[in-house]
Amino acid sequence: MNYFTDFFNSLALIRVTDIIDIAIISFVVYKLFSLLRNTRAEQVLYGLIIVLIFASVADILNLNTVSWVMNQFLTVALVFIIVVFQPELRSALERIGRGRSIFTGERALKNEKSIDELSRAMTSLSRQKIGALVVLEREVGLNDIVESGTTLDADVSSELLINIFIPNTPLHDGAVIINNEKIIAAACYLPLSNSNLISKELGTRHRAAVGISERSDAIVIVVSEETGNISIVESGRIDRYFDEDSFKQRLKKDLVFVREETVDDEKKEDDDE
């Protein structure tokens, strides 16, 4: 009976600010696990939690020597984690910074003509089993990636895209970056993903596609040189085995975007006329 009395008395002492405090910490921990999921840092985070629990138990039991060793270890471990897992931490902070924009998908390709050109090129390369890697830039800028390649600034056309990826041509090795209806650059180098969830049967192109999709909101198209399969990579996820129709539908769904303000402006212009 005393146990239940003490329990309810403790509940009566809980303030609204305490609930908010716990909710914020819970949300931060949840987001931290979400951001670091499927990365090398995930296992280190689990290990760090175990060490923290062990250090708390040592404090409760007044194990002074063990507690001192644990505290020193945690101090060194924090510096170690920042240095060793800098790429994962940077990626997580970038994802926090960009968030989820309601205007995602408005930059790379806005009209169906460009999507048709891209679809024809990827389908042709797929039939010929010619490898290809195309990055459709969206809200997150990729200037550092563009600078690693050769600037083109050309209109999107199936003929140009096919010629770029023909083997043994100067620009075939690397990725093409498309932004705002233009082929911005070719032969660009992409960061490789460290994810251990990528199938072993997939090669460097797919790992590079996953890598850039983890660090930006870009949509990446991959044509396999071995099988000719067309894949679309977004936010670290690989969707495979697209044919021309399903590929085109997916791009139209993700990329053809019109701002509500633009629609309203067009309506106003029509009314004025």
Q: Which residues pair with 223 in a beta bridge?
A: 132, 230
DSSP string covering 233-266: EETTEEEEEE-HHHHHHHHHHHH----HHHHHHH
Give the CA radius of gyration of the chain: 25
Q: How confident is the model at residue 59, as a pLDDT?
A: 81
Q: How confident is the model at residue 104, as a pLDDT?
A: 40
Of 221 and 144, the structure prediction assigns the larger pLDDT to: 221
* Residue 266 confidence (pLDDT) above 50: no
Residues 6 and 14: their CA atoms lie apart, in Å, by 13
Return the H-helix or E-strand segment holding 32. helix 16-36
Q: How confident is the model at residue 121, as a pLDDT?
A: 94
Residues 142 and 108: their CA atoms lie apart, in Å, by 12
pTM: 0.60
* Residue 86 confidence (pLDDT) above 90: no
Are the CB atoms for 122 and 134 separated by under 8 Å? yes
pLDDT, tens digit (0-9, with 9 covering 90-100), for 31-56: 777 766 655 566 677 777 787 888 88
Residues 14 and 115: their CA atoms lie apart, in Å, by 57
Residues 132 and 234: their CA atoms lie apart, in Å, by 16
Of the chain, the end-to-end C-alpha distance in Å amounts to: 81
Q: Which of 1-5, 50-54, 77-81, 190-194 has the lowest mean pLDDT?
A: 1-5
* Residue 12 confidence (pLDDT) above 50: yes
Of 224 and 194, the structure prediction assigns the larger pLDDT to: 224
Neighbours of 33 (CB within 10 A): 12
* Residue 195 confidence (pLDDT) above 90: no
Q: How confident is the model at residue 99, as a pLDDT?
A: 52
pLDDT, tens digit (0-9, with 9 covering 90-100), for 161-171: 999 999 988 89
Residues 94 and 62: their CA atoms lie apart, in Å, by 41
